Structure 1
Amino acid sequence: MSDTPSVLFVCVHNAGRSQMAAGFLTHLAAGRVVVRSAGSMPAEKVNPVAVAAMAEVGIDITTAVPKILTADAVETSTVVITMGCGDACPVFPGIRYQDWNLDDPAGQGIDAVRPIRDAIRARVEKLLDELLPTG
């Protein structure tokens, strides 16, 4: 088994919060963490306002595609971060779960999405410090 931690971000549509979180962690971890995201009912595409908000901070998530949540994705993760997916996320022993209560950016303008993006970044930075302590 790999010593590289694996994080799965889950929200309902895998189009906003989870994609922004995955974008931040991918950028900040620079290959030191396996990063995935999924949704219990994935949308057809990533929220364009989330894409624009991330572009403002220099992170490109234009190639991200919403994916369906699978039991395998959960079972092979070190940490599963849920963001309003309710009971749709399967629970396995030995996996760390956190629920991040964040507003859904769906249907909101850029001014409303920026604070969500910034809250996600702060939580991702804290998570990265926990996963890869500089000791």
Structure 2
Amino acid sequence: MSRSVHDAPLPELLMPQTQLQRDARELARHYEGVFSPQTVERVVFESYASLRRTARVTAHLPSIARRFATDRLKALAQAEGAVAKDVPEVLFICVQNSGRSQMAAALMAHRSEGRVHVRSAGSLPGSGIDENCAAVMAEMGLDLGKEYPKPLTDDVVAAADVVISMGCGDACAVYPGKRYLDWDVSDPAGQDLDRVRSIRDDIDARVRGALPEIVAMTPSDAPGLTASHGADGGVGSS
């Protein structure tokens, strides 16, 4: 006897409930007094569901979802002023978060030597890191093997002091007082290694150019507060 469509399991029932709930409880203890357990659980399950939509392989997805949820909760706590920032926060955005924004984040983290905290996201995240992008970054000793495409969420935008987009159009939420840059960088998808190297070097030059001004910023440590810092050709206020 064939099953009807109504007998199919609901998408949420396909989630590894036990592990996600355990992760949510542990994160709730970490953020006790900052977020309610219900808020933490919602972020954990939302993070898993959003990653599952595009993941090619789901075997390690719960642990990746925990990493994503952990970063989102930290970003939300920073945006709400519950956690102070030690260094400026930079968010790189492209469409799939599988190439340009991943390379930019790795290069900014590398060049800043801990003086900047970097995140990246995609307006329509892909299913994995572009192989040629990973290869050309490995040539510089930078490993993208543990990275993964992440969907763009309001919490990471709200936590950022500088938002740098690369071809994602109007997908990024705009928050008053933040700094926005739009880098006209070619899409490496489908390009050969030489072309991807050229794109990497273009991004690296832009990172080097922007870094001194970003490092000089005072990170915001309360909602709605960002450093007032700008220069011609540098980071501008929206």
The TM-score with structure 1 as length reference comes to: 0.95
Shift of 1:2: 2.0
Task: Measure, in 2, the Cα distance between the counterparts of 1:95 and 1:54.
Answer: 29
Q: Which residue of 2 aligns with 1:33?
A: 116
Task: Measure, in 1, the Cα distance between the counterparts of 2:208 and 2:156.
Answer: 22
Counterpart check, 1:116 vs 2:170: no
Deviating above 2 A after TM superposition, structure 1's stretches of 4 or more consecutive aligned residues are: none
- Deviation digits for residues 21-60 of structure 1 (CA, Å, limit 9, x no counterpart): 0110111112221100000110110101000011112211
Give the unaligned 5+ runs of structure 2.
Answer: 1-83, 217-238
Q: What is the aligned length? A: 133
- Deviation digits for residues 62-112 of structure 1 (CA, Å, limit 9, x no counterpart): 111100001111111000000000011110001100000011000111011
Shift of 1:6: 0.2
Higher relative contact order (CA 8 A, sep 6+): 1
The alignment yields a C-alpha RMSD, in angstroms, of 1.0
Q: Which residue of 2 aligns with 1:54?
A: 137
Q: Give the structure with higher Rg (CA).
A: 2
Identical columns (%): 54
The TM-score with structure 2 as length reference comes to: 0.55
Greater helix share, structure number: 2
Match of 1:99 among 165, 172, 182: 182
Task: Measure, in 2, the Cα distance between the counterparts of 1:132 and 1:39.
Answer: 24
Q: Which residue of 2 aligns with 1:20?
A: 103
